[in-house]
Chains A and B, each alone.
Chain A
Amino acid sequence: MPKKKMQSADPVLMQVLRYAMEQIADGMGHTLGRTARSTIIKEIKDISCAVFDRNGNTVAQAHHAPMLLTGFEIPMKSLRKRFRDDELNDGDVIIFNDPYIGGQHVMDLITIAPVRYKRELIGFVGSIAHHADMGGAAAGGTQGGLTEIYLEGLRFPMVKLYKRGKEDSELFGILNNNIRVPDKTLGDIRAQASANFVGGRRLKEIFEKYGIAVVQRHTDALLDYSEKRIREGLKKLADGTYTGVDHVDDDGLTGKPIKLQVNIHKQGDRAIVDFDGTDPEVPGNVNCPIATVHAAVYYALIAVADPHVPANSGCYRPFEVQAQEGLVVNPRPPRACGARTNTSQKITEAMMLALAQAAPDRVMAGSHGQITNCGFSGYHPETGKRFVYVDIQGGGAGARWCKDGRDGQDSHLARFMNTPVEAVELEFPMRIEEYSFITDTGGAGKYRGALGLRRDIRSLIDDLSFGRYGDRQAFAPFGLFGGKEGGKGKFILNPGSSEERPLKSKGLDKLKQNDVVSLRLPGAGGYGEPRDRDPQAVLRDVRDGKVSIEQAEKDYDIVIDPRTMEIVK
């Protein structure tokens, strides 16, 4: 089948249309990032944009977070079932955030706009963005240990927020009454709609230029092409079943570790991934909805099979994900799943462990392994208004077969940005007092894992709520092929003072004025035997204070004179 289609399509026009569609998606992402109001979109860029064909297949994506990109697959299928063709009008914007119909967590609002040309439905454009607040028990949804999805915020089924270009004032009214910072969030939602309108108009221009049949034939061919590339990549891996296991520390309530097991069955040009051996769903909110699970699996397989493939729905055809309902990786309503990224990044880590057996020269050692999410909320002393500040933290990136983990750089499903210290302080009553690497947190190895990061935040007001979900404070980032584990994370209140005490990795606390929260994010694992590391690289790390002299001797058996900074043994 695919072969036949490839022949009837012009491979050159296929590339021409691919670039044009990618430009639309990039343009939408640009509009959204530029016009948004909350730091989580405008600085962190926790967004994604995509262009779909009439069947809901992703054709082109903007370069944002892989988790959100591959996350369009399942909801688009739901959407095509939910609406008849004649219910999809130009100028409509359908929104939803329900994890149980293919959404991520309720904070991630997906907006999809159907596009018609000459009255025919030609495709969709869509965006997804993480919002500063969706109501619910905790500001920004960032609190560990929530027990039901009802506590996590407003949950939308697929509804039209815009009908033929007009805002639905009733829905906007509901949103306005239920979220903490409507000024910002409604501005952000309008920015999403605006990005869709910009994208839709440009998509029509392409259809006008080439004609409906021609574009469709070539976008079909593009999907086949990506599929073929992935299949070629899979063929190069040895057949077999590969298993990887990682753990989430706990669910924020029970204190019990949660086991994640992936079993990759690689046969020829296909890969089936099942989760047999994985723990059941849990009371706390680290349950991972199925769309996010797919994203985590797809990401790892693409990274290993063919990282430069044009990412579209065709890529996913050679993959099958089997996750039994009722597992932590396919929870049932009304399980809470706001902190799903503690789990989804671990799925990717388990995939890396499994794939390391098939392709040792394509994988990364254990990383930060989560998307540490912190939500601060209170009343701003100058305006008297409620504010919500969601900060996403990166951590260590694992070492690879060819080089060290890059200190500071984020890994895997997240491809976010941090929030500048000056941006935080200009907007919120908080002061950041340190942002630095933590010595000796990079796992030793022929190639060293990246260091963990430290961020100390002082509250300038009383009654500042601090909700968060973090992980890898019990289970360290793994090393590969003799590489050592990276350092674990911890959260500390008022470090170095008489009031110093540890904080739970997942929870909610109230901070007083002048309380300091010190976030110590995990490092990452090393790759290969430490004794194989270039001594000059060890010396450089010691000189840079990234590895202590003591640790260099312990891990690498290299003795350095602290005065001359020369290797003496």
Chain B
Amino acid sequence: MRIGIDVGGTFTDVVLIDDAGGKIHYTKVLTVPKNPAQGLLNGVEKILRIANATMTDLDYMIHGHGTTIGTNALIERKGAKTGLITTAGFRDVLEIARIERPDEGMYDLTVDLPEPLVPRYLRAEVEERVGSKGEVIRALDEASVVRAVKYLKEQNVETIAVCLLFSFLNPAHEQRVKQIAKEIYPEAFVSISSDISPEFREFERTSTTVINAYLQPIVERYIRNLIAMLNEKYGQVEVRIMQASGGAMSAEAARDHAVNIVNSGPAGGTVAGAFIGGMIGDKYLMTVDMGGTSFDIGLIIDGVPRVSSEGKFEGYPVKIPAVDVHALGAGGGSIAWIDEGGALNVGPKSAAADPGPACYGRGELPVVTDANLALGRLNPDYFLGGEMKLYPDRARAAIEKHIARPLGMSVEDAAWGIIRVINATMVKGMAGSSIQKGFDPREFTLIAFGGAGPLHACELAQEIGMKKVVVPLYPGAFSAFGLVMSDIRHDYVQTVAKPASALDPDELTRAYDAMEQQARAILREEKIADKEIEIQCTADLRYAGQAYEMNVAVPRNGKLARKDVDAMVARFHAQHQRVYEYSSHDEPVEVINVRLVGIGAVPDVKLPKRKRGDASPRGALKGKRAVYYAGRGFINVAVYERDLLKPGNIVKGPCIIEEIISSTVVIPGATARVDVWGNVIIEL
């Protein structure tokens, strides 16, 4: 038995997989913002009751954070008091950043880069210098280290980040600084950049290390508290924490890698998306999670969620491997408004849960949910299974007042306009997330979840030219579902920075071997049996002189030979051609980083199969209602209850498929069916 828990801003979602009994349970409880561990415990208690299970059956529990702990501390700038130690002459790198003002600040004179997480007076310098070949140009002056640490101790910092130039090539000075810091100030946490993000570009590496340091005390306290609470109630419990990379790690390991759990919320959805892809036999999928305020887009390539280490969070670069999820400010709560030029805009401002859409009864401004309701796409009496009443009149009145009248159009046209504009925003994001990375979205299957995802999925897919849409099981708790099936994962990177032609295959082998040893050691500590361990090797390559690398797979069975290096380069040329429409076989290629992922595989999840029915969906028909469709206006269409649909049923659009947590709009010409596990699959 295993449990997955996704702590979000409003709700904590809990999924329990009973492997022995072949059953899956899920539930929601309210998040307790002041003490998320308490909310988590409430959720565990509730799911155990529902599943009629006890903790003694538990194999492990995986815990992810939508918006809590690390992520929230960063958003609200409530991390620990942090000190930074840098090479002499470079303490301002963190604040100078890359000097570029943000995109939104192109003409807006008030838009600035975020303020540094460590103010200038807490940034100390040490005398030392490593050169661009990893050579020591100036030995570490230990007296200067002692001075720096003593100063930061006097200032009562709780945690120290260390980032020295070229430490990714030679970490000796950073390691020594850490040693000295631990001697002089043993209470402080110390994060060194060569451990956290050993890659070139000093600002990005410093930023990542600082975020780790800034969050580490908070994450450590949270984990300690959580484990104590669990132990008190249930005895020893195996707890794992989700990382942004889409893999989990033991709570123990997470204490040293706080930055890895930042923004781990969206990772669960892509892991679950990959799993669903495996069930339905699709390897290229795009996941879209549309909630109240945001729209998260993920890609699954060849069955695996796409991971990249070029992310930013809250404007700060975070150079750690993370599931490549692109988030937009578009959701059910996005507010529609008319600008000075008379154009209709939707978002990025959101009414969120408070005051919420006009149709919730408190808000005044029209939002996307109001438009969906006004167009008959949502059922006012079946929102959250009828637990929450919606007011269509209020939705119509808000649209009328703020959109329809100023634009001189009918309420229906205005509502449909809101849907089209928000869809165009999302389509732009979906195109950017795929085409810019070298993938043609038309070859992908769309997996839509979150409360609002299924309402828009068919239109988004149609707009972008996708042919297949899946509304998976548990669309409202999909991330928690992904958490529970996440493998354990540890990422390693080593900068090589050499021309491929000059690269000694033995050197490459040694680099991978060293990383593999580290990975196996920690996985063993996490009680993963050797046969469950999987090692994946990749490398980052580029044409000599380029600034950005492409990650290519490096199949490795023991020692690498020249032909393996050549194969790696060949893969790079092909990939460059696909993404950027050209490749250049005469140009020298450089190998910048080698990367290794150690995976501790968890057992496959086996979902229960459902009983088949015939082609007719009549048993699930709830009735008919008027729904607005593009170019056709309001038409009376069938409304089906999703839970009553049986595998084999064929449902033709236009129609609506309702469930407690969401509602799927099936467009004219589309055909929906239910597979044996209960996923709704729509062919366009």
Contacts and interface: CB of A to CB of B under 8 A. Distances in A.
Task: Verify that A and B bind, or say they do not.
Answer: yes
Contacts of B548: 33-34, 42
- With most chain A CB atoms within 10 A of its CB, the pick from B109, B110, B121, B587 is B109
Interface residues of A, number: 87
Contacts, number: 213
A209 to B, nearest CB: 9
Nearest to A403: B110
B543 A407 contact: no
B528 interface: no
A23 B110 contact: no
A426 B200 contact: yes
Contacts of B166: 422, 425
B201 A420 contact: yes
A400 B96 CA distance: 19
A234 B89 CA distance: 46
Interface in B422-447: 423-425, 427-428, 431-432, 435-436
A431 interface: yes
Interface stretch (A83-91, A488-496, A539-547): A539-547
B438 to A, nearest CB: 10
Interface in B539-596: 543-548, 576, 580-582, 584, 587
Nearest to B341: A229
Contacts of B420: 12-13, 15-16
Interface string A286-328: 0000000000000100110011110100000000000000000
Nearest to A184: B545
Contact of A233 (B202, B340, B423): B340
Nearest to B435: A27
B131 interface: yes
Interface stretch (A100-108, A109-117, A118-126, A409-417): A409-417
Interface string B102-143: 010111111011000001110000000001100001000000
Given A34-B548, A456-B89, A422 B96 contact: no
B431 A23 contact: yes
B198 to A, nearest CB: 12
Contact of A408 (B96, B107, B137, B581): B96
Interface stretch (B11-19, B342-350, B504-512): B342-350
Contacts of A12: 344, 416-417, 420-421
A233 B204 CA distance: 38
Given A362-B109, A422-B201, A408 B120 contact: no
B580 A194 contact: yes
B365 to A, nearest CB: 18
Contact of B341 (A228, A311, A363): A228
A364 interface: yes
A19 interface: yes
Nearest to A14: B343
A13 to B, nearest CB: 8
Interface string A393-436: 01000001011001111110001111011110111000101111
A478 interface: no
A187 B545 contact: yes
A202 interface: yes
A432 to B, nearest CB: 8
Contacts of B103: 63
B20 interface: no
Contacts of A309: 107, 341
B343 A435 contact: no
A63 B121 contact: no
Nearest to B576: A35
B449 interface: no
Nearest to A41: B547
Interface string B383-411: 00000000000000000000000010000
Given A202-B435, A421-B165, A422-B166, A407 B425 contact: no
A161 B443 CA distance: 34
A229 B107 CA distance: 14
B360 interface: no
B604 interface: no
Contacts of A420: 98, 200-204
Nearest to A62: B103
A544 B582 contact: no
A38 B545 contact: yes
A452 to B, nearest CB: 11
Given A225-B343, A423-B201, A431 B101 contact: no
A219 interface: no
Contacts of B93: 421, 435
Contacts of A308: 107-108, 339
B200 A422 contact: yes
Interface in A489-517: none
Contacts of B132: 422, 425-426
A393 B112 CA distance: 18
Nearest to B103: A63
B112 A406 contact: yes
Nearest to B497: A426
Nearest to A565: B121
Nearest to B338: A11
A546 B120 contact: yes
B167 to A, nearest CB: 10
B76 interface: no
Interface in B183-216: 200-204
Contact of A306 (B98, B340, B584): B340
Given A15-B424, A229-B341, A431 B131 contact: yes
B612 to A, nearest CB: 39
Contacts of A410: 99-101
A134 to B, nearest CB: 18
A453 interface: yes
A550 interface: no
Contacts of A436: 89-92
A307 B99 contact: no
A426 B590 CA distance: 13
A418 to B, nearest CB: 5
A402 B113 CA distance: 16
A540 B115 CA distance: 14
A232 interface: yes
A409 B120 CA distance: 16
Interface in A45-70: 45, 63, 66
A17 to B, nearest CB: 8
B95 interface: yes
A462 to B, nearest CB: 19
Contact of A434 (B90, B121, B546): B90
A229 B200 contact: no
B121 A229 contact: no
Contacts of A23: 428, 431-432, 435
B325 interface: no
A456 B90 CA distance: 11
Nearest to A19: B428
Contacts of A303: 107-109
Contacts of B203: 420
B546 A408 contact: no
Nearest to A303: B107
30 contacts: A11-B342, A12-B421, A13-B420, A15-B343, A15-B420, A20-B428, A23-B431, A26-B432, A27-B435, A34-B548, A197-B581, A198-B581, A233-B340, A303-B108, A308-B339, A311-B106, A400-B110, A408-B97, A409-B97, A409-B101, A409-B113, A415-B100, A420-B201, A420-B203, A422-B165, A425-B166, A431-B137, A435-B92, A436-B92, A437-B120
Given A31-B580, A198-B581, 6 more contacts: A15-B343, A36-B546, A302-B107, A418-B96, A423-B200, A436-B91
Q: Top 3 closest A-B pairs, CB basis?
A: A42-B547, A229-B341, A434-B89
